[in-house]
Amino acid sequence: MNLNLTHLNLGPLIYGVIMFVGIAVMWWKLKNGRWYSLTIDLGVFSLVFWLHGGTMAGGFAAMIAALLAGLFLPLMQQKRA
């Protein structure tokens, strides 16, 4: 009997957690009226997802880029004003 558990792929689990966090953050922004930050999230996600051709890796990259952009760009705007 060949029992090999060393090839456990955690990629889909990590992908799912990142997607859940991204959707939860966008939902929170929608409920609390953070329109500027939500627009940045949706715009960056759409752009990066489109640039990557709609693949799973593209969705992962798009969600991370949207989370980072939605966090840092509004903070940069507040410090400038």
Q: Say which residues have a Cβ less than 8 Å from residue 32's Cβ, sequence separation at least 6.
A: none
What pLDDT, in 10s, does the model give residues 6-47? 667 777 788 888 889 888 999 999 999 999 889 999 999 999
Task: Write out pLDDT tens, residues 43-72.
Answer: 999 999 999 988 888 888 898 999 899 888
Q: Are 34 and 48 in contact, with CB atoms under 8 Å apart? A: no
Question: Given a cut of 80, is residue 78 above it in pLDDT?
Answer: no
**The pLDDT value given to residue 59:** 84
Return the closest-CA partner of residue 40 out of 72, 15, 78.
Answer: 72
